[in-house]
């Protein structure tokens, strides 16, 4: 697949980093981020090499906060990381992203009913859908993982009211799917010696200690159905 060219803005990065970290601290203090999520996003902010990297960090914050931090609200490219990101444009039908014996991180621009295929063999594959445009009422992904780890980050507001179908295959590995709260999870996958878990990580460490929960109601709902067959591995849905 050809790679898209993205623009990186470094002017104003130190000041914008300070502003964003302040918002992260406020969100953590108000128990809108749990401890692990706060630490992960703080690390991303400190490692950001351009303003666009910072914009991705608050992709799921309320619109008024995002617009205050980034008034122009341009389309956000994939974030920088220790390993380079590959960028996927709107994929053609049958498009496949393959990783063999290595590590790959990529950002997908478009989700629709035309299947997109992701294959990892003895590798780690991270696929970022947070800024994907979701077209049509349904979308489909095909994921195969053999002796490796695949992570799909689907925390995208564009999934509101949509039906997402993920077909999994492979085994002796791990598939982790991050979704926004409010999803209806349907398990239609056949598991052979594998585990299937749905985890809610929204509760902060303070809520876990006190037994209190002041979580806000999900802003939208969507349907996620997991199909296929998975051998001797682990499938996790995390929100």
For residue range 4-44, list pLDDT tens digits in order: 334 578 888 999 999 999 999 998 888 888 888 899 899 98
According to the model, what pLDDT value does residue 92 have?
42
Does any domain span residue 221? yes
Does any domain span residue 80? no
User: For residues 167, 172, 178 and 179, what is the CA-based torsion angle, rounded to 10 degrees?
Assistant: 30
Q: Mark out the alpha helices in 48-190 (DSSP H runs).
A: 51-57, 63-69
Per-residue pLDDT tens digits of the chain, which is 239 residues long: 333 334 578 888 999 999 999 999 998 888 888 888 899 899 989 998 888 888 888 888 888 888 888 885 444 444 333 333 333 333 444 567 889 988 888 888 888 888 899 999 999 999 989 888 898 999 999 999 999 999 999 988 889 899 999 999 999 999 999 898 888 999 999 999 999 999 876 554 445 555 555 555 556 789 999 999 999 999 999 88
Please state at what angle helix 13-29 crosses helix 35-47, rounded to 10 degrees.
180
According to the model, what pLDDT value does residue 30 have?
85
Does any domain span residue 75? no
Does any domain span residue 61? yes
Same domain, 89 and 62: no
Residues 6+ apart with CB under 8 A from 169: 142, 143, 144, 145, 228, 229, 230
Same domain, 29 and 132: no
Query: Among 69, 93, 116, where does a domain finish?
Result: 69
Does any domain span residue 111? yes
Residues 6+ apart with CB under 8 A from 188: 225, 226, 227
Residue 5 in tokens: 């060219």
pTM score? 0.63
Same domain, 60 and 89: no
Count: domains in the chain: 2
Same domain, 49 and 134: no
Same domain, 139 and 208: yes
Same domain, 119 and 200: yes
Same domain, 64 and 95: no
Query: Among 22, 44, 69, where does a domain finish?
Result: 69
According to the model, what pLDDT value does residue 85 have?
34
Domain span at residue 183? 85-238
Same domain, 39 and 129: no
Does any domain span residue 65? yes
According to the model, what pLDDT value does residue 163 have?
94
Residue 199 in tokens: 């985890």
According to the model, what pLDDT value does residue 56 have?
83
Does any domain span residue 1? no
Does any domain span residue 112? yes
According to the model, what pLDDT value does residue 22 have?
92
According to the model, what pLDDT value does residue 76 have?
43
List, as one string, the DSSP characters of 163-194: EEEEEEEEESSEEEEE--TTEEEEE--EEES-
According to the model, what pLDDT value does residue 146 have?
94
CA distances from 158 to 32, 81, 132 (A): 21, 24, 8
Calculate the CA 114 to chain-centre distance.
20
Same domain, 54 and 94: no
**What are the beta bridge partners of residue 85?**
105
Beta strands 195-199 and 234-238: pairing type? parallel
According to the model, what pLDDT value does residue 52 have?
82
**What are the beta bridge partners of residue 111?**
134
Instruction: Let me know: does 53 contact 46? Beta carbons within 8 Å.
Output: no
Same domain, 47 and 100: no
Same domain, 49 and 132: no
According to the model, what pLDDT value does residue 226 have?
95
According to the model, what pLDDT value does residue 164 have?
94
According to the model, what pLDDT value does residue 213 have?
52
Same domain, 178 and 208: yes
According to the model, what pLDDT value does residue 214 have?
52
């Amino acid at each position: 697949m050809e790679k898209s060219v993205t623009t990186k803005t470094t002017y104003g990065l130190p000041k914008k980093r300070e502003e964003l970290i302040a918002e992260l601290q406020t969100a953590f203090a108000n128990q809108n981020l749990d401890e692990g999520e706060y630490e992960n996003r703080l690390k991303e902010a400190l490692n950001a090499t351009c303003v666009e990297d910072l914009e991705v960090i608050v992709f799921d914050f309320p619109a008024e906060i995002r617009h205050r931090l980034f008034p122009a609200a341009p389309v956000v490219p994939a974030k920088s990381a220790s390993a380079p990101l590959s960028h996927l444009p709107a994929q053609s039908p049958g498009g496949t992203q393959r990783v063999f014996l290595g590590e790959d991180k990529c950002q997908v621009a478009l989700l629709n009913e035309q299947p997109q295929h992701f294959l990892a063999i003895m590798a780690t594959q991270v696929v970022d859908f947070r800024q994907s445009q979701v077209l049509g009422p349904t979308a489909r992904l095909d994921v195969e993982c053999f002796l490796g780890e695949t992570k799909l980050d689907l925390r995208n507001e564009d999934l509101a009211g949509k039906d997402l179908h993920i077909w999994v295959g492979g085994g002796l590995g791990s598939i982790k799917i991050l979704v926004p709260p409010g999803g209806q999870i349907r398990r239609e996958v056949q598991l052979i010696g594998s585990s299937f878990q749905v985890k809610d990580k929204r509760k902060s460490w303070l809520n876990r200690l006190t037994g209190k929960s002041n979580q806000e109601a999900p802003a939208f709902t969507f349907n996620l159905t997991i199909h296929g067959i998975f051998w001797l591995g682990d499938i996790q849905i995390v929100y």
